[in-house]
Amino acid sequence: MEAVVNTKQEVVSPALWKNRNFLLLWIADLCSSFGLSIFMFSQSWYVVKVMGLEASLGLVFIASSIPRVIFMIIGGAIADRFNKNLIMFISDFTRALVAGALVFWLIFGDVSLWSFVIFAFIFGVLDAFFWPANGGLLPSLINKEQLTRANSIIQMTSQSSFIVGPMLAGAIIALGNYVTTFSITAGLLIVASIAVLLIKVKKKKLGEEEQTEPNLLSSIKEGITYVRQSAFLSALLVFAVLINLFMVGPLQMGLPLFVDNVLKGDSLIFSYLEGTLAGGMLVGSILIGILNIQKKRGLLVIFSVLFAGLIFSLFSQTGNLWQSLIMIGFLGGTFSVINIPIFAAVQSVVKEEMIGRVMSLLSMSSIGLVPVSFAITSGLLSIGVDVTQIMLGGGLLIVAVAILIYWKVTGLRNYN
């Protein structure tokens, strides 16, 4: 039996690269991830260093998160009714135009904090339609048995981009050139939009869509009912909400502040930490792809979250660069171990006609409390709480949540 499994695995991986649609999706994800990593790094560092508005960085993150929450469930219903690659094309191309507009604003205008808030809001709206379509497109392009490795490849590509992207952006910004970084973002998003538009998927017959989904509201309700009836999916919703409440805000907002206040570093040091975080995620993705874990995935995720909370707590107490790099590398590795097995499992068990709505609900639960997390972090910073204390508290709360989930949520704990 083992020999048969190994033979099958050896055949699956090369077959992915012979799949034209998967190859185009991989190119699109590569360019999109690379461009967005440069954009987010440049945006955060511009607000912190050029504008000197550390506590206000949360406004930018909140502006991008709120529209995701509001429109995500609508985006999932639309993804199940229309061509997913067309939705992704419109989103990527529009984001390219937004990045291009920011370039002109930097050259000819006076960029303010509210400029970044507006652009972040637009990105958030587009993300609400992009991610459900992106998550639901992959299962329609490949066989189910290829999903774990395909997700590993996509994750490895994404994390590689988030290693190189911040390092490139940090080097360019060190020379004082933000125009170049945002221009690169626009160019890469244009390439991504073209690649995804070339993907060929079978179109649903109009009559079938009208019969199964008479209107948008009933389609949304159907998706909610579908998730509520699954103990496994419901457990994931609760899990994702709590993790993002306690981790995302302190990590995303705290990292540039940690570099500036604790490590006394510049944009290059910031890029090293972000690159190492992505590098840890890359290594984790490779391990998951090689191991192709099929059993006790729920238990693996819970213990990985527990470990992530401990590592984040230790990271907050580091005082020099090498310690911080080690801790954040391990932290990145746990993220991949948490995300990939569950993501592949959801794609394999959910019905194709429901995948967009299910992915939107999972995504919405993941980011639903992110604006609250950003607001809490900003509030704590504004009243003088040190960023290291915020990170330590978030890490310890993650540990507590993981223990609680193990104790109470049997649907996730027992999932294979």
- When the pLDDT of each residue in the chain is averaged and rounded to a whole number, the result is 78
Q: What does the alpha-carbon distance between residue 75 and residue 72 come to, in Å, rounded to a whole number? A: 5
Cα–Cα–Cα angle for 171, 176, 181, nearest 5°? 60
137-151 residue pLDDT tens:
887 787 776 776 777
- For the packed helices 370-382 and 57-81, what is the interaxial angle rounded to 10 degrees? 180
Q: What does the alpha-carbon distance between residue 376 and residue 62 come to, in Å, rounded to a whole number? A: 11
112-171 residue pLDDT tens:
788 888 888 998 888 888 888 887 788 778 777 677 677 777 777 776 776 677 778 888
Among candidate residues 350, 74, 70, 71, the one with its CA nearest the CA of residue 220:
74
| Greater model confidence, 253 or 312 | 312
**Contact (CB, 8 A) for 257 and 385:** no
Q: What does the alpha-carbon distance between residue 152 and residue 344 come to, in Å, rounded to a whole number? A: 9
Max distance between CA atoms of the chain, in angstroms, equals 66
Exposure b/e, 130-153, CB count within 10 A at least 16 = b = bbbbbbbbbbebbeeebbbbbbbb
- The answer to whether the pTM exceeds 0.75 is no
277-303 residue pLDDT tens:
878 887 887 887 777 666 777 787 788
Q: Which domains does the chain have, with CATH numbers?
A: 19-413 (1.20.1250.20)
Among candidate residues 364, 267, 312, the one with its CA nearest the CA of residue 38:
267
Q: What does the alpha-carbon distance between residue 55 and residue 62 come to, in Å, rounded to a whole number? A: 12
The radius of gyration of the chain's CA atoms, rounded to the nearest angstrom, is 21
Q: Which amino acid is at 294?
A: Q
Q: Where are the alpha helices (DSSP H) in 175-230?
A: 178-197, 206-212, 216-228
How many Cβ atoms from other residues are within 10 Å of residue 93's Cβ? 18
Q: What does the alpha-carbon distance between residue 293 and residue 339 come to, in Å, rounded to a whole number? A: 12
